[in-house]
Structure 1
Amino acid sequence: MTTIQILVSGVLIGGVYALLAVGITLVLGVMKIVNFAQGELLMVGMYLTLLLHTVLGLHPYVAFPIVVVALFGLGAGIHFGLLRWVVDRGHTQQIVLTLGIGIVLQSAALMIFGGSFQSLQIEPFRGGSIVIGSISIGTTRLAAFVVAGIATIALLFLLDRTLTGKAMRATAMDRDAATLMGIPVQRVYLITMGIGSALAGAAGVMLMPIYPVYPTVGVNILLIGFVVVVLGGLGSVAGAFLGGIIIGVVEALAGFWLGAAMSQIVVFALFIVILLVRPQGILKGDTV
């Protein structure tokens, strides 16, 4: 395997990390909440994709809009029923609540689907890969990267060009001032949590044909997601996308040169270096 092949593979899988991280950084930037349940929301998206395929026979990419809408509803419901009560409280209550939500989702998945690994090996195009010279590009990973790019561009357009996005930016900058200007802050929070959860669901759909799903699959991916968020810059959507690509490349190179067991160590070592050298991240962005 050539270095270029490894770089391409890393960039493509980095798109999945970017999808998850963009959702984390959106909720963090607007609501000032670190959502520790984001990995479990991705897991729910994976299981829902698997369920739609096995029960209704839907191709994962056909099921994509169903999963995204369902996860938006789940995220909005989580905010309405739980998170809105701790938005004004300290970070301790917020962390404990989101961790609790994640544990509940894990336990529910374990009860319903069991603890075994389940996979769905389906390629979106015949052949399963696109060969360019000596480089082979897996279509599932390519599709994940394209979806991540489109989702990031769409979110940036929403934030910059729509009234809802401007309300989200205003709320992120100063919630009290936004309230005085007539912005329905709680509705903005509900939409934000819904979009963040929908992005996790999108990542779950794109990941399902690549990796097996099991109740705790979101834990390791969530940890990588946090590394991506810190690398990209807290609250920066564009930074989260860029950080996902960088971490994907670092993980791929470390896995090839040092072995799969060492790739995680390298990623988290990079996380520590970032905190020490440039804690604001690549793109500083506290207001999404």
Structure 2
Amino acid sequence: MIQECERCRELLSERMPRFDSVRKVRGGVPLLRDHIVDQGELLFPRAFELLFNPHQWTADTIPNFPVLSHDQTRMCFTFHVVNAPLPFAAACVRITCDQCGLSHRPVVLNAMLIVLASHLTAAGLGTGLNPRRLSEFFRALHSDAGSINEFAAPDSVPRAEIFAGALWLAFHEFGHIVGNSLVGPEQVEGPESSRVTIAGELNADLAAFRVLHHRTIANRPMLDNFPVLLCGVEIILRTIAAMSGFDGRPRLLRETKSQVILTHPSPWQRWSVIRAYAAIDFKLGSGDRSFYLNHRKRLLGNFNRAINTMRLAEHFDAAN
């Protein structure tokens, strides 16, 4: 493990509280973090070990590891799950020590994103909150993450898929460091001045997806986890789409086709790139596509309906 110096600790103790203040972080959620890490180890063996040990980030040390060879021995990733109001979803704080040169990359994931994804998925499965309560819950999480205590947890949700999607979002930051440039600026839609940045985000998405996919097949056959990863990514992107409207109105994934916010690709653009790459993987034998489609239909077939009924409830309340 990389050893940080005293100056590293000073910089972290100065920078992270400022980040928490801006994002209105109410504290960490270590139990959920541990659940995500444990589930990640089951679905994607050694994924976090790779994240926390940069000397292993090459195909030379891991057969067929789908990333470039990098000399990143002075890079230090950490993973945190926090409690903060939406629409904050995830971020990577970049801190470089001016004394020893160690680059710190704390990856911060908002527990409320996972909670909202769970409730929206449960509503689509017919086991969660009724539309009016879901609408109240959606609005409450945008103002005060502590309001989660007022709403009952979903009866049953596919935690493996939701945690897989959360891991993919966290590993997106890893992807910025190790990813190949598979998407060029000329291939993306958006303002010309933003295309390089948008392409970089999409390449990080792909790198995270490819790394996690690699871990499903590297040590033993785990092809059934490929549909879990795909559905998890879609759940997270649908959830991000739902909370991405400037007017606070829940949105469907397809409604973000032309959306670009702060040089970031829309959830639709991100899903389109992942879906296209997954189609290639299916052709190469990464799982049964028919099984995936049936699994997706069961899991996500009514996701849009859940959001639409929530909209109707919100509209009805506003009119009365």
Q: Normalised by the shorter chain, which TM-score bucket?
A: under 0.3
Q: Say which structure, 1 or 2, has more relative contact order (CA 8 Å, 6+ apart).
A: 1
Structure showing greater Rg: 2
Greater percentage in helix: 1
TM-score by length of 1: 0.25
